[in-house]
Structure 1
């Protein structure tokens, strides 16, 4: 298969922490601040396409927030202190340190290949801010009287790094990994989660803690309303094999990996050092958003807010929950051995094809079965035949008929009015969808404009107007080319959160600065005389060899 549209960036791909998202707009210290994070994946094996989905989703949300004028801090990292990593290392006959140091590179490479524009990537086993921050939150929870020790026996799934009640199992097996959990008995520290049941319920029911979609909110609310039990938040040093963050003042225990991992969201902001990023992007942020998979909703929507309440720290404002990418209806999982390698997909199809498929085809909230055939079909239909063909037609005609400069418009008639109506509606609907974290609906509305603009070309038939050559036809040709340039420029603007590199190429071909493109309400502004160059083939078709 031929690769298409995939520029691969050399590592290292991250940049030093700055007071605003480094590429996404012209925000200033006066702009509203937004914090957006992915979960931090375990690095017991290479990433799969389910990880790619969450990174691409979160990147689109971060880019959209910056495009909307917000000051954005976009965080991800690697969850390195889990027992899963220790067991994976044992199987390979290497140390846990060797395993995580090796595997984190694969995640860094995936992030670079997918053009994910992070502010910071935090590693939980080595980052000084994280190690100190996790310990300080533990101390604060202890100071609040919310920790105690007791002997405990429970059913533990190493794959989930989670205890399950018998009623939560399916045929006696973990519902996520389809394996029987281990019976674990040991003395642990417990967190008084039950103390925060009423307050959590108030936050959920008032919308102060927003969970998207509503179905996940209902699940969490029902879980909290049914009664919260205190939870084990440490593991014995022996069972952890000496790997993990030590419990302060107790060398025989390490923090439960989820307790340490959740704290990364504020640790990365340097809160224990009094860093200005913590004040700007957490304490005083308008939005504090976690993008998470449905399997870890409880950790982020119940345990993490309760920990923050105990520690006296601000809570997240929104938790956006996505489903799984599945294979034959089954979750993709390293443990189940049915993973799809995103690096392989990028190598064969290109970054743009993979990003577009994940954002345009996969549900933002529900499960979706992965299909290479559908990925190729969406790319060829929407990008190569749709947008790519439109950009080529428009720029070629402006170069051919008006020497590469957008002409001043002549009289406006019904086709222009219909194009304007679609453009305004697509802009409104795209923004509404992204405010609701629905990237698939947002792209569908952008493609309504792509299709309408292609139809406008056929309705106006500029080649016939150019051939006619009379004054009326020349004026109509000027109007047509002017409106086409404006519509394609707006498509480039709307695509910036989803396909950043192609969006920039579209705007460059139309002589436009990405940060200076006017909004939909001024979509024809500053077009006359703009230099236009014939666009290169932005989306080469992906040709799939015929089967023998």
Structure 2
């Protein structure tokens, strides 16, 4: 089996800045790329930007720019973000690059020459935001997109179609024959059930806007954005111009696509059908992760709860941020990002478990042996159990990483870290130092702790590159930890006698949790209460509020918001106009109700109708409702 590994993120739309969702996918891809390198693989890691399509064209126009100027200004923002997050991609592709245009033209020609593209006409409802036509049976409330909720446009145009329906059975067979083709497995049923409903041929061209890759055999048409975008995975590994690279990473490598669950269907249905038609190998794994909420709510700018990755890095450090994203939720599930849980995770896992083990170990080694590795050959059964657990840890981590289960892999690593913290308490070095006869045993114990830290740092390096390097540096190791191989840390006795350790410095300082305000007494009064627009009692006495009975109610022609009431006061019948029509679908039900009215307002004319007072309403959640009075209260009773 070849040890070539090719991992991709989706290419990100350039009509907005990178957010926590795109950061999550890219960090995950970076972690698996770094891990595979430590396992001895040749790795190609691709990310990039999706720069064609109608919404990009419109975004540019809104800013007074050409689409190319707009995309040229946006792509660097993604590169800057990835650099700040310690992402080390092999390649960053932009769909406006010539190499990509050439690759798209090639795959279109191959599929067209095979007879899988034909000319037709498309009429349907189209979502500009998602760049997709929506079948009638999926439209929400007759005109809204089922994915983003935005209003659809009716589009009718000449189009070229890809015979996707032709590959329905072949795709289903492939999915069934390859259980890990779609991960997590819970997503597989969703995809297969959709396919079994019947695949429709795919419109792959547009001619109502210009920002896209022209189709050579279809004058006036540009390539539909998904057919364009998905081809990027082939472009980057030389589909069009580098057969040796393409053969290495696509044909003879493990190909893994990471993406959000909202674009799973495109990747698990359209993309494989394209490849089947083009005669190319299908990817090995298509892995869809869930969505992030913020403290239980969907992130939105209006709510002010959007998680900005760079802000989080400033608060916690890049390694802690990367660790928490990968640890907090199983890849594939939805996750909630909340400050209390992040702070707790950092304090518990990083400061207490790993940080404390490092500080205790280096502190004791410095105190007992002047920070110099000593000989230690006095073993006990306890040490063998640690060795056994390490072997199990490596196996479990590799098993989880092969399924992109990042959180479970970290859980296995932390199980070993917790075991080493317990090992300190079980062996009690502070007691061994007191007896000359147990000094050699002390050396063995301390060496086990030092080497455990050395080994653990190699496993945490894909997640926390800088912090793991610091661990090595504090152990007196100056080599680049990103060049370390897991094969080399399977054994023990990795640091020779005489090796000088460094000094312990906190890598993960504890964070203060926000103190919750004490619960208020629900019966307590606020003695310092400030009243808005205060009035005197004499001001209130000027207002004549009485109980009236509604005799008639009707709509006013040409005034949708107004209702005309005839009410009985204690002395006469009055006419009052009130702007509450939209809150009462059946206003006749108000006849006979006793309500409150202000009767000493000056008469006014509203939409040509006389109004001799004002009915009082309550306001709750932007809804108005007349204040109704118990039927036993007499008409004309005054409110005081």
1:62 aligned residue (33, 41, 52): 33
Shift of 1:106: 1.6
What secondary structure, in the 3-state scheme, does the structure 2 residue paired with 1:492 have?
Answer: helix
Which structure is higher in strand share? 2
SS at match of 1:486: helix
Q: Verify: 1:341 aligned to 2:308, yes or no.
A: yes
- 1:493 matched to 2:458? The reply is yes
CA contact (8 A) 2:38 2:486 kept: no
Counterpart of 1:123 in structure 2 is: 94
Shift of 1:143: 0.5
In structure 1, the residue matched to 2:491 is 522
- The equivalences for 1:43-82 within 5 A come to 43-82=14-53
Report the Cα offset of residue 174 of structure 1: 2.3
Q: Counterpart in 2 of 1:425? A: 392
CA deviations 1:82-119 (Å, max 9, x no partner) are: 22222222333333223222221221111111111110
Which of 366, 377, 380 in structure 1 is aligned with 2:344? Answer: 377
Paired residues of 2:320 and 2:464 also in contact (CA < 8 A): no
- In the alignment, the residues of structure 1 paired with residue 129 and residue 376 of structure 2 have an alpha-carbon distance, to the nearest angstrom, of 63
Alignment CA distance shift 1:330-1:176 (3 Å): farther
Instruction: Give the SS at the match of 1:272.
Output: coil
Post-superposition CA distance 1:38-74 (Å, at most 9, x none): 1111010111100011001111111111111111111
Distance 1:258 1:112, change over 3 A: same
- Structure 1 position 134 matched with structure 2 position 104: yes
Q: For the residues of structure 2 that align with 1:55 and 1:320, how far apart are their CA atoms?
A: 13
Q: TM-score, normalised by structure 1?
A: 0.88
The answer for the alignment partner of 1:481 in structure 2 is 446
Whether the 8 Å contact between 1:124 and 1:131 is mirrored in structure 2 is yes
Matches within 5 A, 1:27-42: 32-42=3-13
**Residue in structure 1 matched with residue 251 of structure 2 by the alignment:** 283
After TM superposition, the structure 1 stretch with the greater mean CA deviation from structure 2, 163-172 or 383-392, is 163-172
SS at match of 1:533: coil
- Deviation of 1:518 (Å): 5.3
**Could you say which structure has the higher helix fraction?**
1
Q: Does 1:307 align with 2:307?
A: no
**Which structure carries more relative contact order (alpha carbon 8 Å, separation 6+)?**
1
Q: CA deviation at 1:156?
A: 1.7
Q: C-alpha separation between the residues in 1 aligned to 2:17 and 2:236?
A: 23
3-state SS of 2:40 partner: coil
CA RMSD, 1 decimal: 2.3
| 1:158-214 Cα distance to aligned partner (Å, 9 max, x none) | 221122223223444323322232222211111000111111111111108711111
- Corresponding position of 1:536: 505
Q: Is the 8 A contact 2:2 2:252 kept in 1?
A: no
Gaps of 5+ in 2: 518-640
* Contact 1:345 1:354 (8 Å CA) reproduced: yes
The more displaced of 158-167 and 89-98 is 89-98
Q: How is 1:217-256 mapped onto 2 (pairs within 5 angstroms)?
A: 217-236=188-207, 238=208, 240=209, 242-256=210-224
Asked if the contact 2:340–2:513 (Cα under 8 Å) also holds between the matched residues in 1, the reply is no
Q: 1:288-327 CA distances to partner (integer Å, 9 max, x unpaired)?
A: 1111111111111111111111112222111111111123
The within-5 A match list for 1:10-25 is none
* 1:250 counterpart SS class: coil
Count of equivalent residues: 512
Report the CA distance between 1:531 and its aligned residue.
2.5
Whether 2:241 is the aligned partner of 1:273: answer yes
CA distance in 2 between partners of 1:139 and 1:331 (Å) = 42
What is the DSSP-based 3-state SS (H/G/I as helix, E as strand, rest coil) of the residue aligned with 1:373?
helix
Which deviates further from its counterpart, 515-524 or 262-271? 515-524
Deviations 1:465-499 (A, max 9, x none): 22x14222x12211210110121112112112211
Mark the CA change 1:394 to 1:544 in structure 2 (over 3 Å): closer, same or farther. same
| Structure 1 residues 542 and 452: CA distance shift in structure 2, 3 A | same
CA 54–482 in structure 1, closer or farther in 2 if over 3 Å, else same = same
For structure 1, the 5+ residue unaligned runs are 1-29
Tell me which residue corresponds to 1:204. Answer: 175
Task: Note closer, same or farther for the CA distance 1:350–1:298 as it changes in structure 2 (3 Å cut).
Answer: same
How far 1:452 sits from its partner (Å)? 1.3
- 2: CA distance, partners of 1:328 / 1:448: 28
* 1:502 and 2:467 are equivalent in the alignment: yes
Distance 2:202 2:295 in 1: 35
Q: Tell me which residue corresponds to 2:331.
A: 364
| TM-aligned CA distance change 1:197 to 1:105, over 3 Å | same
